[in-house]
Structure 1
Amino acid sequence: MSLSSALSTAQSIFNNSGTQSAVVSKNIANAQNPDYIRRSAVVVTGGNGAMIGDIVRSQNAPLLRQTIESSSVASGQRTLLDGLEEIKNLMGGNSNELSPAKLITAFRNNLDAFASTANDTGLGISVISSAQDLATGLNTAADKLQQIRKDADDQIKQDVDELNSLLSKLESVNNQVKNATASGTDANDALDEREALVKQISEIVGVTSYIRENNDLVLYTSDGVTLFETVPRKVTFQPTAAFDASTNGSGVYIDGVALKAGEAANTSAKGSIQALLQLRDTVAPTFQSQLDEIARGLITAFAETGPTGALAPMTGLFSYKDSSGVQQTAIPASGAIVPGLASRIFVNPVVVPPAGTPDKLRDGGINGAAYVVNTGGSSYGDLLDKYNENLEAPMTFDPLTEIADAPDLLSFASDSMGWLEQLRSTATAADESKTAMLTRTLDAYSSNTGVSLDEELSLLLDIEQSYKAGTKLMATVDEMMQALLDIAS
């Protein structure tokens, strides 16, 4: 080997070692960064010896696609489950002590006691008090349920704004990637940033991606609607100011196409927006319809029909107001939901002490003398027994409640909680499964593309040995040069 070749080799070693050290150092510095993809300095050999040919990312496109998909479905399932947990909390948590079924049971126990001792005014007052608890419980649950819908609507607005912001950032970063790729400069940092943005987008809405010439990214929703192509497509949403049982929220539109809501407890939602639409437009309204049917059942069960049952039915113990706040006396039609009835049901003031008296519940006459049933004295509880039996009498419910096959009001109230618990249980199991899948996918992706400190430190030792070889070669060349100079002198 000539001295010039030796010098060239030593210089190549130093250049390569410097570049490799810089790459390894950057890897180590980003070992805890989940959005960083490990770099490798690729050494190639040629006529001029070994040199760094390129710095490449440890990409794994199939695992990346799986990570994005898993992130979307896990985000959608978690969002739905959170909403179901919030609805469950309205019912009093695990014990469901605030559920209509529990409140009806407490009310019925007091009604039984009053019927057996019909001349005990104290028991009559307890019946009215528990009836008020029942009506208030329905009012509160219905109102808070609408607030859950409003909160979901507000969150949709935030997610849409965040999605538009991320798409705007994606445009800028994608342009950096294209320009760097076209010019042959390092695009790795921009690629990391673009990948991180796609991951964030996938938590809001399900996406699939396609890479074109010059590393240009095209992004579609899971339903095939273009979300990003050169420039971001507009995502629009009009929030609703307030919700009641008759309010329908606005849809989310991507490039003018409506985004579908998720379906079922093991939801089809990909990303948080679809799950929020499902919660706002399907789950909460269905449970609201069940509360409304329970309210209608109570009003019907305690309707007054006079001593022979031939008079026009009118509201008795339980009455309600129309949408303008006016008290109604007509009994709602059988088998049809009255939207918002649960938020407007109340105990008739005629039976509420001190202005009213529970005797009118026992004897009839809430709607006047013509409706008095018990004329035989305060010891008769026949009418109270009839009301009690009405709670288990056959009743028709609206199919939109999804539990319309319940035979009577008590069964319907119980089935309502069963419906919610079944939904929540299925959603919980699905959440565990999808979260586990996401965790395994992230682990696999990290193992393939992430930084291992052990590997990087081992590589540093190899680089150190290469550097030492270079310094030893330089020392040898120096000695030879000195020997030549000594001879020449």
Structure 2
Amino acid sequence: MSISTALNAALSGLTAASRRAEVVSSNVANAATPGYGRRQVELASGLVGGLVPGVSIIGVTRKEDLLLLSQRRGAEAGLANAQVRADFLNGTEDSIGLPDEPGSLSDRLSSFETSLIEAASRPDSEARLLAVAETASRVAEKLNALHDKVQDERLNADRAIAESVDDLNSALRQVVNLNAKIIQFSSSTRDTSSLIDARQQVIDSIAGLIPVQQVPRDNGAIALFSPGGAMLVDSKAADFGFTGVPMLTVYMTQAGGGLSGLTINGQDISTGAENGPISGGRLDALFRIRDEIAPGLQTQLDAVARNLIERFEDVTVDPTLTAGDPGLFTDNGLALDLTEELGLAGRISLNALADPDQGGAVWRIRDGLGAAAIGDPGNASLLNALSAALADDVTPGSGVFSVARDAIGLAGDFLSYVSIGAFAAESQVSYSRAETDALITAELQDAVDTDQEMQELLLVEQAYTANARVMASIDEMMQQILGL
């Protein structure tokens, strides 16, 4: 081997060692960077430039396990979905309150029952009659507040959908732009690893909204599809359409046209199908809260309000009433209309005849809502009848409640209905989080291992030293030759 050949071979070795050290440094620096894929320099022995022996740098490869990546993204989508549901149900459970919590629905009904019993023991006490009116009014206000809570959450979900759709469209366009840059870099043999890292981070953000499947295309580009079959990215990005609403009422639904559905490239898609185009991620959960879960809770809440109104409209409870008259609790001042049950919890109120704040008189609670004049102040028969009506076991006429309960027991059943849903959602959160953590750990095991990178650096140092010695020896030989 000639001196020039040895010199060029050593120079190629130094160049390769320098590139390997650079890549190792990048790996170590980004060991904890989300979306970063471990780099590795691919080398080959042979002719450098087809002329002299040495080491050739074929390129820098980015390591990743696409199957593991897909599984992790699916788990993260499931976690986001479960967390949205759990947050909504836990918030509703907190609003209802536990039976022993001050201000809870059960607590207010219990206070109402206590006030009736105390008033029956002293029917001549205006203060005790006033306490009945106040506690009854607080029961109605609690149901009103729960109604508002459910509808506010529907509106919040609608707004979150609009924000998520904007984020989704922006992210899909970013993937298309990164695809174009990766193709451009690949055609000029430039390293695309950093661009792929950036693209993977964007795809991870998409996966939290909609589960995605990544499919490779030519020159490093990728296509994205949802497991439900929706094309998200190929040669261009899909365009999702949604129109939010500034306000929302109990009567507004997607089926009725009052609320927006979702479109892809102008075409309507299902937002409620179990295996639909968007099922499985945060966006799916938001639609289900707005269109299914919250309306389902509203139905059960209205059933509780209906049951309470019906208990006191019975003419056997208050003989001063005639058929069709509203009882102690009303539907916005009117008698119960079974054809208008939707939203009843938001309209239930204390009868104005017995409410001093509405110009009524509390003696009507003792003497009857339909009484023409003040009766015997010592007569507690109506107060006892009202107390018995509240405590009677009655099977609700609507909702999922099929067991006869007293009013407080029905409130407990409603809380249990919500709590069971919240517990199921929390269990799914725990499962999805454990699955996600396990897959992230598996990904990290295949990602940057700093111990391995340090070992690689030692090998790079040895290679650099060996090639440097060759060049030093050549330099010494040249100095000797020149000194002859």
TM-score (norm 1): 0.89
Relative to structure 1, is the Cα distance of residues 275 and 98 closer, same or farther in structure 2, using a 3 angstrom cutoff?
farther
Alpha-carbon deviation of 1:272?
A: 1.1
Deviation of 1:409 (Å): 4.1
Does residue 448 (structure 1) correspond to residue 468 (structure 2)? The answer is: no
Give CA deviations for 1:260-295 in whole Å, capped at 9, x if unaligned. 2487xxxx9522111111111122112222222222
* Equivalent residue, structure 1, for 2:387: 388
Partner SS, residue 455 of structure 2? helix
- 1:356 matched to 2:355? The reply is no
Letter in 2 for 1:345: I
Structure 1 381/77 Cα, relative in aligned 2: closer, same or farther at 3 Å? Answer: same
Stretches of structure 2 that go unaligned for 5 or more consecutive residues are 48-52, 254-258
What amino acid sits opposite 1:46 in the alignment?
A: G
Looking at structure 2, the residues matched to 95 and 127 of structure 1 have their Cα atoms a distance apart, in angstroms, of 20
Contact 2:144 2:346 in 1 (8 A): yes
Deviation string 1:379-407 (CA, Å, 9 cap, x unpaired) is 23222222223232434422xx3335555
Q: Distance in 2 between matches of 1:41 and 1:73?
A: 36
What is the match of residue 324 of structure 1? none
Is the alpha carbon distance of 1:367 and 1:350 closer, same or farther for their aligned partners in structure 2, counting shifts above 3 Å?
A: same
Say whether the 8 Å CA contact 1:304–1:315 is kept in structure 2: no
Q: Is the 8 A contact 1:13 1:466 kept in 2?
A: yes
SS where residue 242 of structure 1 aligns?
Answer: coil
- Asked whether 1:147 is paired with 2:165, we answer no
Distance (Å, rounded) in 1 between the aligned partners of 2:196 and 2:239:
23
1:48-59 aligned within 5 A: 48-59=53-64
1:218 alignment partner, SS class: strand
Task: Work out the CA distance in 2 between the residues paired with 1:141 and 1:310.
Answer: 29
1:258 and 2:269 equivalent?
yes
Q: 2:417: which partner in 1?
A: 419
Determine the structure 2 residue equivalent to 1:469.
466
Q: In 2, distance between residues paired with 1:308 and 1:478?
A: 119
1:340 and 2:343 are equivalent in the alignment? yes
Helix, strand or coil at the partner of 1:231: coil
- 8 Å contact from structure 1 (residues 304, 314) kept in 2: no
Closer/same/farther in 2, CA of residues 315 and 116 from structure 1, 3 Å limit: same
Report the equivalent of 1:276.
286
- Report the alpha carbon displacement of residue 308 of structure 1 after superposing the two structures with TM: 5.5
Q: What is the distance in 1 between the residues matched to 2:158 and 2:88?
A: 12
Q: What amino acid maps onto 2:299 in structure 1?
A: S
Instruction: Give the letter aligned to residue 301 of structure 2.
Output: L
Aligned to 2:179: 174
* Gaps in structure 1 of 5+ consecutive residues: 322-326
Does residue 65 in structure 1 map to residue 70 in structure 2?
yes
> 1:8, CA displacement in angstroms?
2.2
The 5-angstrom pairing of residues 39-188 of structure 1 reads 39-47=39-47, 48-92=53-97, 97-188=102-193
The one-letter code matched in structure 2 to 1:361 is I
Specify the SS of the correspondent of 1:36: coil
Query: Which one is further off, 472-481 or 377-386?
Result: 377-386
In 1, Cα distance between equivalents of 2:131 and 2:86: 38
TM-score, normalised to structure 2, is 0.90
From 280, 293, 301, the equivalent of 2:311 is 301
The answer to whether residue 212 in structure 2 is matched with residue 201 in structure 1 is no
Show the counterpart of 2:50: none
Q: State how far apart, in whole Å, the 2-side matches of 1:108 and 1:308 are.
A: 20
Partner Cα distance (1:319, 1:367) in 2? 14
Do the aligned partners of residues 285 and 99 (structure 1) sit closer, same or farther apart at CA in structure 2, a change above 3 Å counting? farther
CA distance in 1, matches of 2:419, 2:273: 19
Query: Which of 319, 330, 337 is matched with 2:330 structurally?
Result: 319
Identify if the C-alpha distance between structure 1 residues 386 and 332 changes in structure 2 by more than 3 Å, giving closer, same or farther: farther
Report deviation, 1:170: 0.9
In structure 2, what is the equivalent of residue 367 of structure 1?
370
Match of 2:21 in 1: 21
Please state if 1:233 is matched with 2:238: yes
Task: Give the counterpart letter for 1:389 in structure 2.
Answer: A
The answer on 1:4 being equivalent to 2:4 is: yes
CA drift of 1:129 comes to 1.0
Q: Give the partner amino acid of 1:49.
A: G
- Judged with a 3 Å threshold, the aligned counterparts in structure 2 of structure 1 residues 393 and 486 are, in CA distance, closer, same or farther, namely closer
Report deviation, 1:39: 0.4
Aligned residues: 467
Q: CA RMSD in A?
A: 2.4
In structure 2, the partner of 1:379 is: 378
